[in-house]
Structure formats: structure tokens, C-alpha cells
Structure 1
Amino acid sequence: MATGRNGELLSLSGSRNPYPGTLGKIEPGAMADLLLVDGDPSKNLDFLHDPERNLRLIMKGGRIYKENV
């Protein structure tokens, strides 16, 4: 939600773009950093007070570091 537009902006930097793959999208072949949370980040970030329980999935570069779905 917060990085989709940033991915589009980085793609505008042409050859200086540090990321060769698709950014800001969830699709095969795209570079993905994802947090799946038990909460609504558009309302508040209170769920971050208990990350062990409320961060359900952590993925960086397409690799899963935590999965509690």
C-alpha cells in the first residue's frame, strides 16, 4: 500500500534504477517485500505493539522470513 507508487517513481530513473525487476506489484517475477498484518494500517498502527502475534507474514526479496498465517 505504501510502496506501490514509490516503485513507479524508481522505474522513471532509467539506467540509474537500482532494481532491475518489477516493483510495487504482487505478481510472478516481481521483487517483493511484504508484511501481512492482523490489523488495519489505514486506521492505526496499534497492531505493531505485539509483532509476534500481529505480523503474520514477513517476506523480503521474495523470501519468507516469518509465516504465521
Structure 2
Amino acid sequence: MIKKKGYKKVAFGTDVIGDHALMARQNEEFTNRTKWFSNHEILRQATSGNAQLLAMSGPRNPYPGKLGVIQEGAYADLILIDGNPLEDLNVLTNPEDNFRVIMKDGKVYKNTTEH
């Protein structure tokens, strides 16, 4: 298993942006990682783990505030998911249906909770 080879941090990310077919494939990475990691570990890799790695980039870090935490003054990117990814990571592979709220940089881009 990868986590037993001495790696201290594993991040999650892709360089694929824009093409919907490729974006669907990149979402499969969540479930592909279950061969080596628990759902909790995968979610941390995609959230606070990435934030910690960006913070280590010093002046190259494109974000001015705290990342990977939910607190006042932090850089806010949040997703409200219809489902529990700790139980089933497949809810992350269909963002069109399962992402109820998407907030980036403190601005709400999607909110399907108000009907």
C-alpha cells in the first residue's frame, strides 16, 4: 500500500479543466484511490492535504488566506453534498446531481437547496 511506503503527504488533484468528458474521468480518481486509502483519507487528500501543500509553496501560493479550514477569515471553498462520501465516495463522481451547494472564494455558484 502506498501509505506504508513512508509517504507523509499525498495530495489529490488534476490538470484537467473544461472538457466534461475528461472532468467525469477525473472524478473517478476518488473511487480509484479506495484501493489504497480509506474514504476519510481520500477526502483529506482532496481538501486540507492540498491546502497544506499549497501553503508550503511560499510566495508561489496563489491564495492569500488560510486554506483547508472552516473558520473566520479563511479562504472559503465549500461543497454541500447530497450523500455521505465517508460511506460512499461515488457521490463525488456525479457533481451535477449530488453537489447541492458550491461556494468558491466565499461566493455561492450553485445552490439547489432553495426550492
TM bracket, shorter-chain basis: 0.7 to 0.9
Q: Larger Rg: 1 or 2?
A: 2
User: Which amino acid in the other structure matches residue 50 of structure 2?
Assistant: N
Match of 1:18 among 33, 47, 62: 62
The unaligned stretches of length 5 or more in structure 2 are: 1-42
What TM-score does the superposition give when structure 2 sets the normalisation length?
0.49
The unaligned stretches of length 5 or more in structure 1 are: none
What TM-score does the superposition give when structure 1 sets the normalisation length?
0.74
User: Which amino acid in the other structure matches residue 28 of structure 1?
Assistant: E
> Quick one: structure 1 residues 40 and 17, their matched pair in 2 at CA, closer, same or farther if it must change by over 3 Å?
same
User: Which amino acid in the other structure matches residue 51 of structure 1?
Assistant: E
Secondary structure of 1:8's aligned partner: helix
- Is the helix fraction higher in 1 or 2? 2
User: Which amino acid in the other structure matches residue 53 of structure 2?
Assistant: L
Percent identity of paired positions between Structure 1 and Structure 2: 50
How much is the aligned-residue C-alpha RMSD, in angstroms?
2.1
**Deviation at residue 43 of structure 1 after TM alignment:** 3.0
2:72 equivalent in structure 1:
28
- Is the strand fraction higher in 1 or 2? 1
Q: Structure 1, residues 20-67: CA drift from partner, whole Å, max 9, x if none?
A: 111111111111211101111233344454734x32211011101122
Aligned length: 68
